[in-house]
Homo-oligomer: A and B are copies of this chain.
Amino acid sequence: MVRPTMEDVAARAGVSRALVSLVMNNSPKVSAARRAAVLRAAEELGYQPHVMARSLASRTSTVLGVMVNDLRNAFFADIVEELDTAAQVAGFDLVLNTGGRSPTREWNALHNLLSFRPAGIILLSPVVPASAIQVAAKQCPVVLVSRTIRSSIVDTVNDDGEAGSALAVDHLVGLGHRRIAHLDGGGAAGAAQRRRGFESAMRQHGLEPVVVRSEHTDIGGENAVRELLATYERRELPTGLVAGNDFNAVGAISALEEAGLRVPEDVSVVGYDNTSLAALRHLSLTTVDQPRKDMARLAFEALIERVRGERTEPVRHLLHPSLVVRATTAEFSQTGGAAR
C-alpha cells in the first residue's frame, strides 16, 4: 500500500527530484533524453503524483466542491454528471457533498468542502442562508445553480421559471383554452417563480389565473385535481392544467382519468422539467424543458473564469426553457373532444 514518491523516481532515473517535478508538469525546459528516462522510471515504479502534496506545495487546487441538496432529483444528478464531464476535461476533480435539504447539514457540508481549499464551489439549489454563502464566497469563487442571491461575488445560473410557465400558458391559449389552472408547487424550489409566471402570462392574455395549492409529487397532483373537481361544475372546469412539475402532472392525469375525463380530449396537461418520465411514450407528457446541459456548462464556465481570475464582475445567467410538445395537450373543443 506504500506508493512510490517523486524521490523514488528521481533515484531510479538518476536525476534530481526537481527534474522529475518538471517532467510531471511537462515543462518545456527538460531535455528529451532526461524526460524519457524519468518517464520510464515513473512507469516502472507505477508512480503517480500525489494530488494533495502537489496542491499544498503549489498553493493551487484542482478540487471543485459541489454540494447538491438532493442527488435523487434527476435534475441535479444530470447537472452533476455534466459538471464532472467538464471538470475531467479541464483537469479538475469533484469533491461532492449532499445537503439533504437541511440547512444545518448543508452548512456542515459546505464547511467540509471549504476545508479542501477548493479552487471553487458550485452549490446546487442550496437552502442555507445567503449569509453562509457569502462567507463561503469570501474563501473561494462560488456559483449558485437554481438559487438566486444578492451578492457581488457570487455568480448564479437559473432557468427562467416565469418564462417556462408563460410558455405553457401561451401554448394552451394558442390551442384555444381559456380556463387554465396552475397546480402550485408550494415551497418547492422554483415553485414561486413558476406560479408568478403563470399568473402574469394569464393576465397578459386577459384571462383569470386559477391557482390550486399542490406539491411537486404525483399524489399532490391527484389531490389538486380532486379539489378542482369538487370546486367547479363540470362545464366550468379548467380545460388546461399547468402542473408544477412532471410528477405533479402525472398525478393530475391519473385523477382526471379516474373522474372519467380524458387527456387531452377533455383536459390538456402540461408538466415541467422534462424528466425521463415525460419522455415515456406511455405518458408522452407535454412539458417544459430546462436546459440542464447549458446550465451545467455555464455554471462550470462561470466558476472557471473566476478561478482563473478572468472576471470579477458577477454574472447572472437566466436561461430560457423550451416547450416540448407531446401528447397531453390538444386543441380546446367545446364538445369535449373527439375520440382517439
Which residues of A are interface residues toward B (Cβ below 8 A)? 1, 3, 48-53, 55-56, 66, 70-72, 74, 77-78, 80-81, 84-85, 88, 93-98, 100, 105, 108-109, 111-112, 114-117, 138-140, 218-219, 222, 247, 250-251, 253-254, 276-277, 280-283
Q: Give the number of times this chain occurs in the complex, counting copies.
A: 2
Sampled A-B contacts (10; CB under 8 Å):
A1-B138, A51-B116, A52-B116, A71-B81, A72-B81, A88-B97, A93-B112, A95-B96, A218-B281, A251-B282
Cβ of B116 and Cβ of A250 under 8 Å apart?
no
In the complex formed, the residue of B with least CB distance to A81 is: B71
Q: Which 6 pairs across A and B sit closest by C-beta, in order of nearness?
A: A52-B52, A96-B96, A254-B282, A77-B77, A71-B81, A51-B115
In the complex formed, the residue of B with least CB distance to A54 is: B115
Beyond A88-B112, A254-B282, is A94–B97 a contact (Cβ under 8 Å)?
Answer: yes
Cβ of B84 and Cβ of A77 under 8 Å apart?
no
Residues of B within 8 A of A218 (CB): 280-282
Residues of B within 8 A of A277 (CB): 276-277, 280
Given contacts A51-B115, A71-B77, 6 further A-B contacts (CB under 8 A): A3-B139, A48-B111, A72-B77, A74-B74, A247-B280, A277-B280
